[in-house]
């Protein structure tokens, strides 16, 4: 048996060995408003402050614009934790963000009916 801290962060059989909110030091609220569809992108600047392994992984994923939801999926972390990590990187100057752009009215009845029809055809 290995001592705590000696083994990997992930175990093939057990999964993640570190609780997700340990990654964000127990913080549950980001310092900036981030939507799941918000786009984040690395600025190329060296981040200020300490970076944990998850921060570095997130920064690596953001070389090209990517949504917050995609980063969370790749990191296999809850969205709330991912938002905290990304806001740390924005605060440190390593990431930039912009809100999602809607090119249509998201509550447009015709669009919702088209989605519903498509789903019905799939079932």
Say if residues 9 and 54 touch (Cβ distance below 8 Å).
no
Q: Is 26 among the domain residues?
A: yes
The model's confidence at residue 104, banded by pLDDT at 50, 70 and 90, is: low
Predicted confidence at residue 32, as pLDDT, reads 87
- Model pLDDT, residue 26: 59
Residue 97 included in any domain:
yes
How many residues are there in the chain?
Answer: 123
pLDDT at 2 over 60: no
Res 113: pLDDT: 84
Domain range for 28:
22-121
* 4 assigned to some structural domain: no
Look at residue 15 and tell me if it is in a domain: no
The pLDDT tens digits of the residues spanning 45-58 come to 988 777 888 889 99
Mean pLDDT of 17-36: 68
Residue 16 lies in a domain: no
Q: Specify if 8 maps to a domain.
A: no
DSSP E strand stretches across the chain: 10-11, 15-16, 39-42, 66-67, 95-98
Is residue 13 one of the residues assigned to a domain?
no
Kindly state whether residue 5 falls inside one of the protein's structural domains.
no
Look at residue 7 in the predicted model and tell me its pLDDT: 46
Number of domains forming the structure of the chain? 1
Per the model's pLDDT, the better-predicted residue between 25 and 31 turns out to be 31
**CATH number of domain containing 49:** 1.10.10
């Amino acid at each position: 048996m290995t001592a705590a801290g000696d083994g990997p962060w992930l175990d093939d059989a057990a999964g993640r060995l570190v609780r997700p909110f340990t990654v964000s030091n127990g913080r549950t609220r980001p310092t900036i408003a981030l939507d799941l569809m918000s786009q984040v992108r690395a600025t190329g600047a060296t981040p200020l402050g300490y970076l944990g392994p998850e921060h570095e992984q997130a920064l690596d994923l953001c070389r090209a614009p990517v949504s917050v939801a995609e980063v969370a999926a790749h990191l296999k972390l809850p969205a709330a934790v991912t938002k905290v990590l990304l806001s740390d990187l924005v605060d440190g100057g390593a990431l930039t963000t912009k809100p999602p752009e809607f090119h249509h009215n998201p509550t447009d009845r015709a669009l919702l009916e088209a989605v519903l029809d498509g789903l019905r055809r799939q079932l």
